Amino acid sequence: MIWEVFRQGAEDKPYVHCGNVHAPDREMAKQFSVIQHGRRKPTNALWVAPQEKVSGVSYDEDTTDTDVDGTETDWEVFRQDEAGDYHTHCGDVSATDAESAKHAAMEEHGDDEPHSLWVVRSQYVGEVTGEHVTFGGTTDKSYRFAQTYNVTPAAEEVEASESEQVEAERKRGEV
């Protein structure tokens, strides 16, 4: 199963789509997303959502959703402003089904410019925060040192890696 991953760089910043992970369930998706998307860049939290539950919205799209139960729920909305940009969380809407959520998202978060919007029920979003894991894991590259005959570039990379690791630990308050 494919899970879309959204990363929040700082507490006051929006969640931005950063890629996806393959995982059998939400808990594994959360773990894989930490390893794959929460390691190198500053990360406050991650959201994961099943790709099949993320609905794309376009101005000429007319679809029906079979996942309708008639209860109004919250839907997270992600907007891509420019082609090639990542989808960024821009708010939420309340709706009974995906079609209604798409229309509400278009009304609240669309404008005259055509943008790509995604909607996903909030209940399908799994969150990983600093309370659950430590972001900014190891950047240790010392394993590369013994794999080369030309030791100067490898030694420089190991030295840079060690300073990155110290800086990451300092930011996490471990030093």
Enumerate the domain spans of the chain. Answer: 2-129, 142-171
Q: How many Cα atoms are found within 13 Å in the side-chain-facing hemisphere of 94?
A: 3
Backbone φ, ψ for residue 10 (5° rounding)? -145, 160
Return the CATH superfamily for domain 2-129: Phenylacetic acid degradation B (3.10.20.520)
Show pLDDT as tens, one digit a residue, over the chain (175 residues).
Answer: 999 999 999 999 999 999 999 999 999 999 999 988 888 788 999 999 999 999 875 444 444 444 556 789 999 999 888 777 889 999 999 999 888 998 898 888 877 665 688 999 999 999 999 887 877 755 555 555 555 555 666 677 777 777 887 887 787 776 5
Q: How many Cα atoms are found within 13 Å in the side-chain-facing hemisphere of 48?
A: 26
